[in-house]
Amino acid sequence: MDSYSTLTFERQDGVALVTLNRPADANCLNQQMAAELLAVAERCAGDDGIKAVVLTGQGRFFCAGGDVNAFASFGEHAASEVKRLADELHRAISSFSRMRAPLIAAVNGVAAGAGFSLAMSADLVLAAESASFTMAYTAIGFSPDGSSSYFLPRLVGLRRAQELMFTNRKLSAAEAADWGVATRVVPGAALQDAALELAHKLANGALGAHAGIKKLLLATYGSTLEDQMELEGQTVAACAASPDGQEGVQAFLAKRVPKFS
């Protein structure tokens, strides 16, 4: 285990486990956590040996958003300090979103504000039965950040995104799954095992194919039909020419389980 001040990083075979580790402070994001989350995201993105990443929280909270106590200490520097924190969080989310490996959020408890945003940016979201999701930003007079204005309307539609952002409606884990925020709900005691099992399953798959899926889905809303199909053609062609693509075809013909690199 590699320890940081505000999170922990563990690696087992091709799976990385990142745990937000400020349980006494509801795993709220401060400057240090944002910086360390960015460092870990860049570490995961830069290591092709990492084929899946699990992000979770220590204790009862996944992440309750920004550290309001820290915000209160910024004084006249509030604008610049909050912008610096948001910039590092956004760079971390960008790295996680554009890395080749899938990111699984294992939401173990409350995901509020930037915690909700961070969970939404994952490729797959497993939620404990006790988990809940709320935007919460306007409760302290802030507007949303953490990629939520990008991902939330795409996941739930504009009207539901407006309701969540303007009213801070809280979604239970079951509602989050129904709305498309969470992939599925699992018993709390089984959450980390379920997330790691899924991560190892993905890690045994074809990294290039998973990277292609992430690339295609990030591009889809900004592309015309023809542009998206051209990107699909380029991406599937690259997969076909790759060692994993060649192995997948040969394994299919031989009626055996493929052994991806």
Q: What is the pLDDT of residue 1?
A: 60
The C-alpha atoms of residue 90 and residue 221 are separated, in whole angstroms, by 19
Q: Is the pLDDT of residue 99 over 90?
A: yes
3-state secondary structure the chain: CEECCCEEEEEECCEEEEEECCHHHCCCECHHHHHHHHHHHHHHHCCCCCCEEEEEECCCEEECCECHHHHHHCHHHHHHHHHHHHHHHHHHHHHHHHCCCCEEEEECCEEECHHHHHHHCCCEEEEECCCEEECCHHHHCCCCCCCHHHHHHHHHCHHHHHHHHHHCCCEEHHHHHHHCCCCEEECHHHHHHHHHHHHHHHHCCCHHHHHHHHHHHHHHHHCCHHHHHHHHHHHHHHHHHCHHHHHHHHHHHCCCCCCCC
Full-model pTM: 0.95
Domain boundaries, the chain: 2-203, 207-253
What Å distances lie between residue 57 and 17, 81, 83, 162, CA to CA? 10, 24, 24, 27
Which one-letter amino acid corresponds to residue 202?
L
Q: Which whole number is the average pLDDT over 233-250? A: 96
**Is 70 exceeded by the pLDDT of residue 9?**
yes
In this predicted model, what pLDDT tens digit does every residue of 197-208 receive, in sequence order?
Answer: 999 999 999 999
Q: Which CATH number fits domain 2-203: 3.40.1350.10, 3.90.226.10, 3.90.79.10, 1.10.3720.10?
A: 3.90.226.10
pLDDT tens track for 44-83: 999 999 999 999 999 999 999 999 999 999 999 999 999 9
- State what percent of residues in the chain have pLDDT above 90: 98
pLDDT per residue as tens digits for the range 25-49 = 999 999 999 999 999 999 999 999 9
What is the C-alpha separation between 216 and 100, in angstroms, rounded?
Answer: 12
Q: Averaged over 88-106, what is the pLDDT? A: 97
Question: What tens digit of pLDDT does each residue of 115-140 get?
Answer: 999 999 999 999 999 999 999 999 99
Q: What is the mean pLDDT of the chain?
A: 96
Q: Is residue 94 within 8 Å of residue 115, measured between CB atoms?
A: no
| Predicted confidence (pLDDT) at residue 143 exceeds the cutoff of 80 | yes
CA angle, corner 68, sides to 77 and 142, nearest 5? Answer: 75
Q: What percent of the chain has pLDDT over 70?
A: 100
Return the closest-CA partner of residue 174 out of 129, 110, 231, 144.
129
Q: What is the pLDDT of residues 178-199, one digit of tens each?
A: 999 999 999 999 999 999 999 9
